[in-house]
Amino acid sequence: MTRLIIDSKLLAQLKNRAAAAGSDEICGFLIGSGDEEAAVVSRIVESPNVARDPSRTFEIDPAIHFGIRRRLQRTADEIVGVYHSHPKGPPVPSQRDLERAPQSEEWIWLILAPEKGHGVSARAFRYTSSEEDGPADDWDEVAILFTR
Ligand SMILES: [Zn+2]
């Protein structure tokens, strides 16, 4: 998947939530359909950030993860990605993100970064395990496109 296609209103909602959460990271799932070309997000499922220190990292509520997987079994939709925010840093994957990325190699990682007085920026990445190329190439940036 080299493109993330999302309704601009949905992305605006996520940006607003990221800004409203102050110093805490927000997190949740991107639900939709995906193939090799693109992931199309049809909705988002928010999760409380259950990390012990939500200002430093995020942890999706396992009950929400389990519940959404079970509900999606009977549909054509799937989890195409995960979103979270970086209240104190740029919208690029952190070392912590890298450590857990191999568990969900298919997912797109959408990262939102509220910057005081400058709105919220968003970038998307996909983890690729490339042992030959070294750590710098562990993530491929995914273009974000809007349906409207
Ligand atoms: Zn992160």
**Per the structure, how many domains does the chain have?**
1
Q: What is the pTM of this model?
A: 0.92
18 has a pLDDT exceeding 90: yes
> How far apart are the CA of 85 and the centre of ligand 1, in A?
6
Cβ neighbors of 104 (< 8 A, separation 6 or more) are 82, 127
d(CA 105, CA 95) in angstroms, rounded, equals: 16
- For the chain, the first-to-last Cα distance in angstroms comes to 20
> How far apart are the CA of 84 and the centre of ligand 1, in A?
6
Domain extent for 78:
3-146
Q: What is the pLDDT of residue 35?
A: 86
> How far apart are the CA of 20 and the centre of ligand 1, in A?
17
DSSP β-bridge partners for residue 33: 40
Residue listed under structure tokens 């079970």: 70
The CATH number that applies at residue 64 is: 3.40.140.10
> How far apart are the CA of 87 and the centre of ligand 1, in A?
9
Nearest to 108, CA basis, from 91, 127, 95, 121 = 127
Question: Tens of pLDDT along 65-114?
Answer: 999 999 999 999 999 999 999 999 999 999 999 888 877 778 999 999 99
121 has a pLDDT exceeding 80: yes
